[in-house]
Chain A
Amino acid sequence: MLSTLTISRWLSTYSNACYQSCKKLGISQRPFNVFPQLYYSVQVENRIEDKLLSLKWDDGKILNYPHIYLRDHCPCPSCYDPQTKQRIISNLVLDNYSKATIKTAHISHDNDKLLIEWMDDGSHTSSSYQLDWLKTHRLISSAENKQFRIKRRLWDSNMELNMPRFDFNKVLNNKLELYEWLRSILQNGATIIDNIPKQTGQIQKIAQQVTDLRLSFYGKTFQVESLGKDAATVVYQNQRLPLHSDFSFANNTPGIQMLHCIAAAKQGGESLVCDAFKAAEMLRESHPEYFDLLVKYPLEYEDKRTINAEFFYLSLHPIISLYYNGEIKQICYTDHTRTSTLYVPQEKVTSYYKALAKFLEYAYSSDAMAQFKLQAGSMIALDNYRMLHGRTAYDVLPGTHRHLEGGYFDWDGVMSYMRVFERDHRINDKTPSM
């Protein structure tokens, strides 16, 4: 007698195999189940006055689905186009379904679908939803803590010794290694790739496989060399560079920053890397009122210079940006480009500076910051939305040369690449939206 578990495993394997062959034939890739999961004891209650549909699942859990939500996402061919995989119905105003109410609802005989009849919905009288879909589309209440974002590993004082390291040849030649490298940047904030030829043009080799390098007025890649008298910005001089984000003066900041060390300075020039999300969480815990100040009021950044053409970038960024549920989305802070225009009300300015001082204290602490010498042939990749980076001063003596090549990716392009990989390799832990 076959157990349910064996059957469902077999179904799952078979389903996978069908999925792969269908993919080769170019058949639809939308939530696709050859053999959807079967539910044997789902109970349905239509709470018409509240315009809610209550489903009690096998595990006893009761979940409520507002009628309007179900109507808004009806998957029938007149509401959803299978060819373009996009909505045909638009919205409740244009398509006039704001009054749609569920008249009856019951589970199909084969236990895999919910069948609904509508009223006050014109000629659209019925819908059918896969129970699988309903399970993944449950709406949770405010009270439940919904951790839906990217699972990041915040740093601690051990990070300096435990920085994730990858090998250049493996990353270039093994797609899974390349994916793991990207994922590591997303989760850990920083990674190092070793054994890279000590010449320019290496970052491009990675870019060719993932997504275009971001084009800035410095070009697709930029060279960080000590240029002495000709330096355009402090970056290109040789003094200390405090912890900062790159391109804060742009409203759209780069996602990943890569710095490939071609030649390291004989003395000094060490890299400083800080997990600013960790510093911010430390601030949120010890001084929540300071945290709120850094979230609320933006700083202004500008960059005016001439490189091929004249530029005058200006942007506003609070130091800490949050998602709607309070999780941190981005940290942005740069001293050498922030302006003297302050958008903090006068009576809060002193507190704002205190908040900033505390945040920076955490950022430079050993719990959040690592300091190390990037060796020639190695490259560091950082999440520019999360990490702050800097360097110690170095000497420009004859015979001493420091040369790094850098480039940026936008998160949109990188994450798109990751999601396609996850889909092709059926990886469950999917990259959500930034």
Chain B
Amino acid sequence: ENRIEDKLLSLKWDDGKIINYPHHYLRDHCPFQSCNNPQVGQPASSSLTLDSYAKTTIKRAQIDQDNNELHIEWMNDDLHTSSTYKLDWLKTHQLVSSSESNKFQIKRHLWNSHKKYTIPRFDFNKVLNDKLELYEWLRSILQNGLAFIDNMPTETGQLQKITQQVTDFRYTYYGNIFQIQSLGENAATVVYKNQRLPLHSDFSFSNNTPGLQILHCISAAKQGGESLLSDAFKAAEMLRENYPEYFDLLAKYPLEYEDKRTIDAEFFFMALHPVISLYHNGEIKQVCYTDHTRTSILHVPQEKVVAYYKALEKFLDYVYSADCMLQFKLQPGSMMAFDNYRILHGRTEFNVLPGSKRHFEGTYLDWDGVMSYMRVFERDQNISDKTPSM
């Protein structure tokens, strides 16, 4: 049914469902030869103004059952008079109304006090040699926020064997690969000293925060130095449910982060990040929080500051609670990889006694590169549950 006044085309499918397709949307994605550039697989048509199809209206529309197609004749369209759409395409390109819950994003499994103990563990050799294992490992980081790999040699240089199969390192001023060792007096940041590190995200002072953080334990401290990980998405959802006004405060006002130091050259990074970032439909996209790099500049209006700190306090209560936080000792030869957009990490303090050394090797990857790898794999292996955009 062509509802010309509303500029909608109504299709009633076999299951009785009626879906409306706005005329503009169909015209914008016309699959016709002249609207697409077959050599490069990109649309040749450009924007509405240039091509004057903003006034386009459907004159007539007809289903062709034999070919499974919909034929459309246009009017008020400078460039062309007809289009043909495959019914299959129309089926996968339904536009949902606001009232329908449009859960389109990555399907994440939030932690709870039981689930946090069932994080998948993988074997190093299998991951290196079996592409499906490698893919499953990446998928676990995306869905569970975390994955472990065991049976790695306790030497440096192991991480790149895995990462070079996936994507380039993300270069930071600490190098592509960095070493975290107990250094005592010469430490550049609190990370490199041996005291407790509270739960935080890495590189909050960068506007583009790293996607994955990978840490390989080469030697563990004799005492202390346990890893703390928290599913901050779970903490945020708990806050949203119990204190929606606090959730809104943390989503609205950003904190400022900075990092000023000299490593090879001088740096002065600064960034703004709200604690909670949302997609347009309200789903959580990222949690960002670091104490040791946040500045004393507060972008919260004065009359809301007290409430903001209360919101932060409640959120952190949840972050450190049993439902969200996991504490464990990563053993030499094991590696943890987590989603730096979602998981906050820290460690307990440890002793730097003679004979006690703690050495981790680490690196970061960006989600853009990792997800690109996953999508190519999904396409090549015909996996239907595809990785959407971050």
- The chain A residues found within 8 Å of chain B, CB to CB, are 29, 51, 64, 66, 68-69, 72-73, 81, 84-94, 98, 133, 137, 139-142, 148, 212, 215, 229, 231-234, 237, 239-240, 242-243, 250-252, 296-298, 300, 304-305, 310-316, 318, 323-325, 335-338, 340-350, 353-354, 356-357, 360-361, 363-364, 410-412, 415-416, 419-420, 423, 432-434
Cβ–Cβ contact B292 & A141, under 8 A: no
Question: In the bound complex, what is the Cα–Cα distance between A84 and B293 (angstroms)?
Answer: 10
Q: What residues of chain A lie closer than 8 Å to B23, measured between beta carbons?
A: 350
Chain B residues 102 to 120 lying within 8 A of chain A, measured CB to CB, are 102, 104
Q: What residues of chain A lie closer than 8 Å to B379, measured between beta carbons?
A: 312
Chain B residues 29 to 81 lying within 8 A of chain A, measured CB to CB, are 29, 37, 39-50, 54
Query: What distance in Å separates the Cβ of A262 from its nearest Cβ neighbour in chain B?
Result: 23
Cβ–Cβ contact B25 & A342, under 8 A: yes
Query: What distance in Å separates the Cβ of A21 from its nearest Cβ neighbour in chain B?
Result: 18
Between-chain CB contacts (< 8 Å), 24 pairs: A64-B302, A73-B296, A81-B190, A86-B189, A91-B291, A91-B316, A94-B198, A231-B40, A251-B389, A252-B368, A300-B389, A304-B41, A315-B390, A316-B390, A324-B299, A325-B299, A340-B93, A345-B96, A346-B22, A347-B98, A353-B48, A356-B48, A412-B206, A412-B271
Cβ–Cβ contact B49 & A312, under 8 A: no
Interface residue total, chain B, C-beta cutoff 8 A: 94
Question: In the bound complex, what is the Cα–Cα distance between A242 and B52 (angstroms)?
Answer: 14
Question: In the bound complex, what is the Cα–Cα distance between A251 and B43 (angstroms)?
Answer: 21
Question: In the bound complex, what is the Cα–Cα distance between A336 and B296 (angstroms)?
Answer: 43
Cβ–Cβ contact A85 & B28, under 8 A: no
Query: What distance in Å separates the Cβ of B2 from its nearest Cβ neighbour in chain A?
Result: 14
Cβ–Cβ contact B198 & A412, under 8 A: no
Query: What distance in Å separates the Cβ of A151 from its nearest Cβ neighbour in chain B?
Result: 16
Q: What residues of chain A lie closer than 8 Å to B7, measured between beta carbons?
A: 350
Closest 7 CB pairs between A and B? A419-B268, A312-B375, A242-B46, A346-B95, A353-B24, A345-B98, A139-B302
Cβ–Cβ contact B291 & A353, under 8 A: no
Q: What residues of chain B lie closer than 8 Å to A234, measured between beta carbons?
A: 37, 40, 42, 44
Query: What distance in Å separates the Cβ of A320 from its nearest Cβ neighbour in chain B?
Result: 12
Cβ–Cβ contact B389 & A233, under 8 A: no
Cβ–Cβ contact B28 & A353, under 8 A: yes
Q: What residues of chain A lie closer than 8 Å to B187, measured between beta carbons?
A: 84
Cβ–Cβ contact A360 & B207, under 8 A: no
Question: In the bound complex, what is the Cα–Cα distance between A175 and B116 (angstroms)?
Answer: 53
Q: Tell me, yes or no, whether B122 is within 8 Å of chain A by CB.
A: no
Cβ–Cβ contact A361 & B49, under 8 A: yes
Which of A66, A69, A93 contacts B317 (CB under 8 A)?
A93
Number of A-B pairs whose CB atoms are under 8 Å?
235
Q: Tell me, yes or no, whether B252 is within 8 Å of chain A by CB.
A: yes
A360 with B268: in contact, given A91-B291, A94-B316, A345-B96 (CB under 8 Å)? Answer: no
Q: Tell me, yes or no, whether B243 is within 8 Å of chain A by CB.
A: no
Question: In the bound complex, what is the Cα–Cα distance between A335 and B46 (angstroms)?
Answer: 5
Q: What residues of chain B lie closer than 8 Å to A87, measured between beta carbons?
A: 291-292, 294
Instruction: Please give me the residue from chain A that is nearest to B193 by CB atom.
Output: A84
Question: In the bound complex, what is the Cα–Cα distance between A91 and B39 (angstroms)?
Answer: 56
Q: What residues of chain A lie closer than 8 Å to B254, measured between beta carbons?
A: 323-324
Which of A81, A133, A231, A314 contacts B39 (CB under 8 A)?
A231
Cβ–Cβ contact A433 & B375, under 8 A: no
Question: In the bound complex, what is the Cα–Cα distance between A410 and B368 (angstroms)?
Answer: 15
Cβ–Cβ contact A349 & B22, under 8 A: yes
Cβ–Cβ contact A357 & B48, under 8 A: yes
Question: In the bound complex, what is the Cα–Cα distance between A300 and B390 (angstroms)?
Answer: 11
Q: Tell me, yes or no, whether B366 is within 8 Å of chain A by CB.
A: yes
Instruction: Please give me the residue from chain A that is nearest to B304 by CB atom.
Output: A142
Question: In the bound complex, what is the Cα–Cα distance between A433 and B273 (angstroms)?
Answer: 10
Q: What residues of chain B lie closer than 8 Å to A338, measured between beta carbons?
A: 43
Cβ–Cβ contact A360 & B296, under 8 A: no
Cβ–Cβ contact A316 & B208, under 8 A: no
Instruction: Please give me the residue from chain B that is nearest to A312 by CB atom.
Output: B375
Which of A215, A341, A353, A411 contacts B93 (CB under 8 A)?
A341
Instruction: Please give me the residue from chain B that is nearest to A93 by CB atom.
Output: B316
Q: What residues of chain B lie closer than 8 Å to A212, measured between beta carbons?
A: 171
Q: Tell me, yes or no, whether B245 is within 8 Å of chain A by CB.
A: no
Q: What residues of chain B lie closer than 8 Å to A346, measured between beta carbons?
A: 19-20, 22, 95-97
Cβ–Cβ contact A412 & B301, under 8 A: no
Instruction: Please give me the residue from chain A that is nearest to B95 by CB atom.
Output: A346
Q: What residues of chain A lie closer than 8 Å to B132, measured between beta carbons?
A: none
Q: What residues of chain A lie closer than 8 Å to B375, measured between beta carbons?
A: 312, 314
A93 with B297: in contact, given A84-B187, A212-B171, A416-B269 (CB under 8 Å)? Answer: no
